[in-house]
């Protein structure tokens, strides 16, 4: 909050400096929208009729971050405020940039922006809102409306289609009918947008929406989802065993989990990108592994044998395409690969359970399992069991230091080689299973079991 307030003060100084020099200057875009909604803006942008050279001449420290488009960054006390000259865009170069720009007046600048709620200006000196596009009306009616011809706006930047849905779902607004019709018509063009830009918008939609599952359904309805992550489309209509999934098909289950991610979030937990994408992709392997065969009770049912493994491989491909960082990708993939392990936790040996709890991705897997249950049969017995076990182990390390190491085995006369690793693994499991009370008892067992010619390593 402190940083934003500080940036607002600097933006106010920028506006006053420009106005004192005889120029027009306003707050512009998202910061105006957020303040009118009573939200704290993420940053403050300034729009002016001063030309880029004139902006640079007025402020001692600037960076020409987009001078060709009239954008200069003003630096003050380590904060950056972007100052953009009013402009009119002419032509469409590549589905993102105009062929050329013409510096113009505030009204023409407003008309080139994406949505009415983002097209307003605010004069903080006079306390006056300048609304040339009906943004206030749409804020009051909670509607996301493209400025002017929506198809034209989307041709100028194809990402605006995804942004339209993102604003609608993060703000809890409806999408204007003509704007949605244009999205449906032009949805295939989203494939021309870079993966990085798509991921950024999709991530904000999943992590900032009150009900991200509704956003996912909407993406599918307008045809954007099949362009962004086509691997999710077979989940629509993929039936599941009724006794485990009374909520419906795989896609509906995923949407429900995404909604629960925020509605049922544990105290102190917050929606992370890793959790959102783990939920989104955790059952992507079900459609390609669907078969019909006997269940545990012998009765025939739909089965998804190996879906966690197949789904993890598919998730890795999807996340690579979206240019995810390797560390996050690894966590998500491993959580998906292991998400069925919770079925067996009450029958696990202590050593197996402790290794599972000690894994780097365990917290992610635990929350995925909790939401997986709440989004289906609502039975949390395995989740509660693990929580109880964690409480019992609260005063000791989940993964203790091994009592026996390689040099202990060598001292016993056991030769180095593959057998060393095998014995160390068995000894560590025995230690965690509490089969022995001390290091000495464990050494005695190793000596009795392996210190013979028949059992020593080759």
Encode the chain (458 residues) as per-residue pLDDT tens digits.
556 668 999 999 999 999 999 999 999 999 999 999 999 999 999 999 999 999 999 999 999 999 989 999 999 988 999 999 999 887 665 666 666 677 889 999 999 999 999 999 999 999 999 999 999 999 999 999 999 999 999 999 999 999 999 999 999 999 999 999 999 999 999 999 999 999 999 999 999 999 999 999 999 999 999 999 999 999 999 988 777 778 889 999 999 999 999 775 544 445 689 999 999 999 999 999 999 887 767 778 889 999 999 999 999 999 999 999 999 999 999 999 999 999 999 999 888 898 899 888 999 999 999 999 999 988 899 999 999 999 988 777 878 888 888 888 888 877 767 788 888 888 888 888 878 878 888 888 888 887 654 444 44
In angstroms, the first-to-last Cα distance of the chain is 65
pTM of the full structure? 0.85
Q: In Å, how far from its chain's centre is CA 254?
A: 14
Neighbours of 249 (CB within 10 A): 17
Q: What is the DSSP letter of 224?
A: -
Q: What is the DSSP letter of 115?
A: B
Instruction: Find where tokens 């909520």 sit.
Output: 247
- Angle between helical axes of 273-281 and 362-374 (0-180°, round to 10): 50
Six-digit token pair at 95?
A: 């589905």
Domains within the chain, CATH numbers bracketed: 1-141 (3.30.460.10), 142-228 (1.10.110.30), 232-392 (1.10.3210), 406-450 (no CATH)
Cα–Cα separations (whole angstroms), residue 264 to 196, 256, 268, 316, 364: 30, 11, 11, 27, 15
Phi, psi of 159 (to 5 degrees): -65, -20
Residue pair 101/114 in contact by the 8 Å Cβ criterion = no
């Amino acid at each position: 909050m402190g940083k934003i307030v500080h940036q607002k003060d600097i933006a106010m100084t920028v506006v006053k400096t420009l106005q004192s020099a005889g120029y027009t200057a306003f707050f512009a875009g998202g910061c105006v929208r957020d303040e009118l909604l009573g939200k704290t803006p993420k940053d403050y942008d300034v729009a002016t009729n001063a030309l880029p050279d004139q902006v640079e001449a007025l402020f001692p420290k600037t960076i020409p971050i987009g001078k060709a488009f009239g954008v200069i960054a003003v630096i003050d006390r380590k904060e950056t405020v972007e100052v953009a000259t009013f402009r009119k865009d002419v032509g469409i170069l590549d589905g993102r940039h105009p062929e050329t720009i013409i510096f113009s007046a505030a009204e023409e600048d407003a008309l080139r922006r994406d949505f009415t709620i983002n097209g307003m200006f605010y004069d903080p000196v006079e306390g006056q809102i300048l609304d040339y596009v009906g943004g206030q009306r749409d804020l009051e009616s909670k509607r996301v409306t493209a400025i002017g011809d929506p198809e034209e706006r989307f041709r100028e930047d194809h990402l605006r289609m995804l942004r339209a849905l993102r604003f609608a779902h993060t703000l809890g607004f409806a999408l204007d009918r003509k704007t949605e019709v244009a999205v449906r018509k032009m949805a295939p063009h989203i494939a021309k947008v870079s993966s990085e830009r798509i991921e950024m918008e999709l991530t904000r939609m999943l992590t900032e929406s009150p009900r991200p599952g509704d956003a996912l359904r909407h993406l599918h309805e307008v045809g954007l989802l099949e362009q962004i992550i086509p691997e999710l489309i077979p989940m629509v209509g993929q039936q599941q065993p009724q006794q485990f999934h009374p909520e419906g098909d795989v896609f509906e289950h995923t949407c429900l989990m995404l909604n629960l991610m925020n509605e049922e979030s544990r105290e102190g937990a917050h929606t992370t990108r890793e959790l959102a994408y783990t939920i989104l992709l955790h059952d992507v392997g079900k459609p390609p592994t669907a078969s019909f065969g006997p269940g545990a009770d012998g009765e025939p049912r739909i089965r998804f044998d190996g879906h966690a493994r197949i789904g993890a491989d598919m998730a890795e491909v999807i996340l690579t395409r979206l240019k995810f960082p390797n560390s996050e990708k690894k966590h998500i993939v491993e959580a998906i690969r292991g998400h069925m392990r919770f079925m067996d936790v009450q029958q696990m040996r202590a050593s197996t359970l402790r290794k599972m709890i000690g894994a780097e991705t365990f917290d992610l897997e635990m929350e995925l399992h909790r939401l997986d249950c709440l989004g289906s049969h609502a039975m949390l017995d395995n989740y509660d069991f693990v929580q109880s076990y964690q409480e019992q182990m609260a005063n000791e390390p989940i993964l203790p230091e091994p009592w026996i190491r390689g040099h202990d085995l060598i001292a016993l006369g056991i030769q180095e080689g593959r057998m060393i690793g095998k014995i160390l693994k068995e000894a560590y499991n025995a230690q965690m299973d509490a089969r022995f009370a001390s290091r000495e008892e464990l050494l005695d067992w190793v000596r009795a079991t392996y210190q013979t010619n028949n059992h020593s390593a080759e």
